[in-house]
Amino acid sequence: MTTAAEQPMSTTAPPLTVALAKGALLDDSVARFAAAGLDFSAILDPANRQLMVPSACGTARALLVRNADVPVYVAYGQAQLGVVGFDVLQEHQLPVAQLVDLGFGGCRMSVAVKATSPYRRAADLPAHCRIASKFTRCAERFFASLDLPVEVIHLAGSVELGPITGMSEAIVDLVASGRTLRDNGLIAIEDLFHSTARLVGHPLALRLDDGRLQGIVERIRAISRVHSSVPEAA
């Protein structure tokens, strides 16, 4: 059976298609590609309603998709490159090539509990307790690594309500500033991993590349190194 990564790309597709995630990663993603020579800034126009936008030079196009859908479009060859959070890659684990850590969109995947809870480590949670999360695979793997049997409950949003209502003892969710946790009386007690935006690619497209695709990847890698070497403001 042909795997997702081995699916042939359409011969009628433009020379390069890039999947970009809606939301918090979009502005930085567009800026990074612009610095590498592909201007997709039209996608940021509030009046734009197109989900497929050509680059200013006309040699590429960007697909505007949900964050979780970026690796799907790349894995099945409808996009040769994409920008997606490492958290999504960890949750869905599709066969895409991780090419560059872009450095922006930083956050943590964390276990959090009510601030009044006695638990201060994930391993302290009682066996067979309930954990609410959008990232059920990440949660299941993490607690399996602790050899702690738990019941993971999938919630599509507002997982903070799990501990607040008593439906779950804890949550596994992304934490950036931590303000949402604090505002809802929760605290993070342990991190699973740190997440940033990643440039990903279609493996077959990379193998068959005539140099143009790799050139864009290398320019983005060089730009990302420069950004990562700039100290953050105090």
Joined together, the tokens standing for residue 191 give 């991190």
Question: Could you report the per-residue pLDDT of 75-117, keeping only the tens digit for each?
Answer: 999 999 999 999 999 999 999 999 999 999 999 999 999 999 9
**Is 142:172 a contact under the CB 8 Å cutoff?**
yes
Distance, in Å, from the CA atom of 56 to the CA atom of 62, rounded to the nearest integer, reads 11
Question: Could you report the per-residue pLDDT of 215-228, keeping only the tens digit for each?
Answer: 999 999 999 988 77
> CA dist 106 to 19, 133, 136, 143, 168, Å?
19, 19, 20, 23, 26
How much is the pTM? Answer: 0.86
pLDDT of 2 > 70? The answer is no
What percentage of residues in the chain have a pLDDT greater than 70? 91
What's the pLDDT band for 229 if we cut at 50, 70, 90?
A: low
- Looking at residue 99, what DSSP letter applies? E
Helix (H) or strand (E) holding 133, with range, is strand 130-133
4-105+196-229 and 107-194: same fold? Answer: yes
pLDDT of 6 > 80? The answer is no
The domain limits of the chain are 4-105+196-229, 107-194
The length of the chain is: 234
Rounded to an integer, the average pLDDT of 149-167 is 95
Rounded to an integer, the average pLDDT of 135-164 is 96
Fold of the CATH domain 4-105+196-229:
D-Maltodextrin-Binding Protein; domain 2 (3.40.190)
Looking at domain 107-194, its CATH superfamily turns out to be Periplasmic binding protein-like II (3.40.190.10)
